[in-house]
Amino acid sequence: MKKQIIALIAGVVVLFNAACLWGSEKRGGDDWVIPLDSPLPFPWNSIEGIWKVDSPKFQALFSFEVQYDCDNRQILTVLQLDPYSRFVVAKGIGYMNEATREVRAAMSDLSGGGSYLVSIGAYNDKSSFPYKSVIALRVASFTDWSRVATYRIYKVEPNALHFGPPKEDKEVCPPLP
């Protein structure tokens, strides 16, 4: 009877660890794996603002601003900021990928250093119980697809940084002649 109870307890411990119900040691950076099986609807209503990457490996801020294209679809203006000076170092426009529930933006380095892809999405964090929703940012190289890093990001300011002239109506279409 004693061996059966010990076996039952050991089985429950293994089950909880396999289900990721206890905290994970891996937090942020390349080591954090997005639970891709649980994407949440994209948080258009709360994404605007300045977000900080949660990683000692990658120090950056990102500014997100919701705008509208010529077909009145929501798009995301993405700016990467230097974390110390807050100068804009890269910019891009992101569109929603309905299949993955992510916004993907092609980013251009303003110093001429190239381009890269960022994907932003909301996910359930299965390393905690009860699950919490987190915003994740994935950075990928256009030239080497093996170079992909995923980070948790946290909102640090509610207002987005503007690059260029302000757009009063938040529409990015050129005016018609």
104-147 tens-digit pLDDT: 999 999 988 889 999 999 988 776 677 778 899 999 988 887 78
pLDDT tier at 8, thresholds 50, 70, 90:
very low
Q: Which residue has the higher pLDDT, 114 or 5?
A: 114
Closest by Cα among 175, 174, 167 to 77 = 167
pLDDT at position 48: 94
pLDDT per residue as tens digits for the range 78-92: 999 999 999 999 999
- With contact defined as beta carbons under 8 Å apart, do 100 and 156 qualify? no
Prediction pTM value = 0.73
Cβ atoms of residues 75 and 173 within 8 Å: no
pLDDT tens-digit map of 27-63: 344 556 655 557 899 999 999 999 999 788 888 999 9
In angstroms, the CA 65 to CA 103 distance is 12
- Segment 141-160 shows an average pLDDT of 86
* Domain extent listing, the chain: 25-157
Q: Give me the mean pLDDT over the 67-87 stretch.
A: 91
- Specify the DSSP class assigned to residue 175: P
CA separation for the pair 125, 161 (Å, rounded): 28
Does residue 101 carry a pLDDT above 60?
A: yes
For domain 25-157, give the CATH number. Answer: 2.40.128
pLDDT at 160: 80
Cis omega (within 30 of 0) for bond into 130: yes
**Whole-angstrom Cα distance, residue 113 to residue 47?**
27
Question: Strand, coil or helix: what is 108?
Answer: strand
Distance CA 145, CA 82 (A): 24
Instruction: Specify burial of residue 105 (Cβ count, 10 A radius: 0-12, 13-18, 19+).
Output: buried
Give residue 51's pLDDT: 96
Residue with tokens 């699950």: 131
Q: Is residue 75 a contact partner of residue 69, using CB atoms and an 8 Å limit? A: yes
